[in-house]
Chains A and B, each alone.
Chain A
Amino acid sequence: MRKILFMCAALSIAAVIMIGLFVFVEGYPLMQKVGFFNFIFGKVWSPSEGLYGILPMIAGTFSITLWALIMGVPLSVFTAIFLAEYAPKKLEKLINPAIELLAGIPSVIYGLFGMTMVVPMIREIQKAYFGNVASQMQSGYSILAASIILSIMISPTIISVTRDSLKSVNRELKEGSLALGATQWQTTWHIVLPEVKSGIIAAIVLGMGRAIGETMAVIMVAGNTVRFPESIFSPVRSLTGNIAIEMAYAAAGDHTQALFGTGIVLFALIMAINAFALRIYGKGVKAK
């Protein structure tokens, strides 16, 4: 009995290793053929000419993620503080399930919302205020659209991790501060937030991982053009989008292998980010 159960339990770790291994085995031959350096830092992606450089997609993923964090982190952290310290019980009971629901909304729905609501809005704003932008950048499908949608999608992760670490702060600490005459915000800012610094950083890093790994919502609003981003209105393609869009028609051989190669980069990136987040989060917990 014990042995059978152990085998079930070992599956999850075996799965992670197998996923890494399979993606690596499928993608490695091409990486070796064009050279690891040329693959990562190559500026041209043109499978028909046999050119496989994924730097534009790496730049795309990072620009989307960066803007998503810039927009999403303040809102999420503030919401978490509100929920943990300030919100009346009734409102807390309304917002907490709302955040759960926000996390449960399928990514295609976010994508559909983005392409029919956010993208046209950006297009109108551009037409009205940024008439001099090059016309291929005026479709509305852009870094901005993708990062707005992603900032919403990563907020449940950041909110719930931050909220939970805020709630774990000792009550005596807060009461002591309040008793000494500090206001509620002074207590939050000087006492509570320094206590949970590692929790908030872990929350942001986890949110970042989610943004890098998101596929469907991004390909529905980012425009997917393979080119270096020039402004926030540029259409870009993400690493995830590259795989999802081209796998449907990629011929077996180099092209497919290059998409698996993109997967290797993505997998390595996400694993590193999450291992890092778990470590700082674990340290924060242990310190208590």
Chain B
Amino acid sequence: MKSKTTETLMKGMLWISGILTLTILMTILVYIISRGINKINIEFLIQNPRRMGMEGGIYPAIVGTFYFTVTTILLAAPLGIATAVYLTEYAKENYWVSAIRFGNDMLSAVPSIVFGLFGLALFVVKLKPITGGWSILSGSLTGMLMILPTIIRTSEEAIKAVPKEYREASLALGATNDQTIARVIIPAAMPGIITGVILAIGRVIGETAAFLLTLGGSILIPSSIFEPARTLAMHIYLTAMEVGALDMAFGAAAVLIITILILNLATHGILKKFSRASS
């Protein structure tokens, strides 16, 4: 009898926890979108902010986010994929490889604000002649380090998931190891790699603290990567906390969260297509 009561009780608690987690997510999504959605219209998206963001639109933040994300991915994706190829195809399990893996785990644990301090000290101050101080480039170099672990991990998994037969068939046809990797393995792993890159895009778009110290936060539209900019996430923080224009912040937050939702759906779409194609 007693064990039966415990059974029912615990099952109830487990169900409640599971449903509660789902409810919390839905509450946040619905709350942010419902408070921001009626702010979103064409003017809001294509106008410049007026009076420090109290009125007007978020166009510079959208442009800033776009330039910044593209620059960061262009820096990080080749490096991350190269690392993954090295770890899966070339490296033998030795001291160096475990050191690299450890470094990778540690890098993904470093808090955003510490990345910011590092970026500030190195890219913004020390390398000012190259990066232009607070600029998209400084922010992107900082962001690159932040998303490397994500890209490396997902690319590694994608490469490992490529069926052994592909490699053997290519080698049997007389291709060299390097040719096999470049022409067979990487193309076959591409959907998984792209999923990782999209995850990384989500991270770049969402992070704020590191870029507060490196990206400059200018409200003007940047004309090159050597100029400061602000991302949507920074714009939300600055309008909510420093300007106190909450309705504008909610508008920008709704745009940001819808973007994140779309990116999430995209990764699921790609993965689904991929697993169907390979099975």
**Which of A's residues lie within 8 Å of B, judged by CB?**
1-2, 4-6, 8-19, 22-23, 25-26, 74-76, 78-79, 81-83, 86-87, 91, 94-95, 97-102, 104-113, 115-117, 152, 155, 159, 183-186, 188-189, 206, 209, 212-216, 219-220, 240, 243-244, 247-248, 259-260, 263, 266-267, 270-271, 273-275, 278
Neighbour of A11 across the interface among B7, B79, B241, B249, CB < 8 A? B79
Write the chain A residue with the least CB distance to B103: A13
Pair A240/B209 contact, Cβ less than 8 Å: yes
A216/B208 contact (C-beta < 8 A), A22-B121, A75-B20, A263-B117 known? yes
A97/B86 contact (C-beta < 8 A), A185-B7, A270-B114 known? no
- Report the Cα distance A247→B100, complex, angstroms: 32
Per DSSP, chain B at the interface is: helix
Cβ of B172 under 8 Å from chain A: no
Chain B residues whose CB sits within 8 angstroms of the CB of A108 once the complex forms: 206, 208, 233-234, 236-237, 240, 253, 256
A109/B257 contact (C-beta < 8 A), A12-B100, A101-B264, A104-B264 known? yes
Interface residues of B in 196-255 (CB under 8 A from A): 199, 202, 205-209, 212-213, 233-234, 236-237, 240-241, 246, 249-250, 253
- B273 CB to nearest chain A CB (Å): 16
- Report the Cα distance A16→B206, complex, angstroms: 22
- How many B residues touch the partner, as a band? 35 or more
Pair B236/A215 contact, Cβ less than 8 Å: no
A185/B103 contact (C-beta < 8 A), A9-B86, A23-B117 known? no
How many residue pairs between the two chains, A and B, have CB atoms under 8 Å in the bound complex?
252
Q: A78-B18, A106-B207, A185-B11 are in contact. List 9 more A-B contacts (CB 8 A).
A: A9-B100, A12-B103, A13-B102, A14-B103, A18-B122, A82-B18, A106-B233, A106-B256, A274-B106
Interface residues of B in 62-101 (CB under 8 A from A): 79, 82-83, 85-87, 90-91, 96, 99-100
Chain B residues whose CB sits within 8 angstroms of the CB of A1 once the complex forms: 178
Chain B residues whose CB sits within 8 angstroms of the CB of A91 once the complex forms: 18
Pair B120/A247 contact, Cβ less than 8 Å: yes
Pair B145/A15 contact, Cβ less than 8 Å: yes
Pair A278/B105 contact, Cβ less than 8 Å: yes
> Which one of B24-32, B41-49, B50-58 is at the interface?
B24-32
A22/B118 contact (C-beta < 8 A), A111-B237, A270-B109 known? yes
- B154 CB to nearest chain A CB (Å): 13
Cβ of B170 under 8 Å from chain A: no
Chain B residues whose CB sits within 8 angstroms of the CB of A216 once the complex forms: 112, 208-209, 233, 237
Chain A residues whose CB sits within 8 angstroms of the CB of B120 once the complex forms: 247
Chain A residues whose CB sits within 8 angstroms of the CB of B87 once the complex forms: 9
Pair A11/B83 contact, Cβ less than 8 Å: yes
Chain B residues whose CB sits within 8 angstroms of the CB of A107 once the complex forms: 112, 206-209
Can you name 30 A-B pairs with beta carbons within 8 Å? A10-B100, A12-B103, A14-B103, A19-B118, A78-B13, A78-B17, A82-B14, A86-B11, A86-B18, A101-B25, A101-B260, A104-B206, A104-B260, A108-B236, A108-B237, A112-B236, A112-B249, A112-B250, A113-B31, A116-B246, A183-B4, A184-B7, A213-B109, A220-B237, A220-B241, A240-B209, A244-B209, A247-B116, A260-B117, A270-B114
- B238 CB to nearest chain A CB (Å): 10
Contact flags (1/0) for B7-40 with A, using CB distance below 8 Å?
A: 1001101110110111011001001100100000
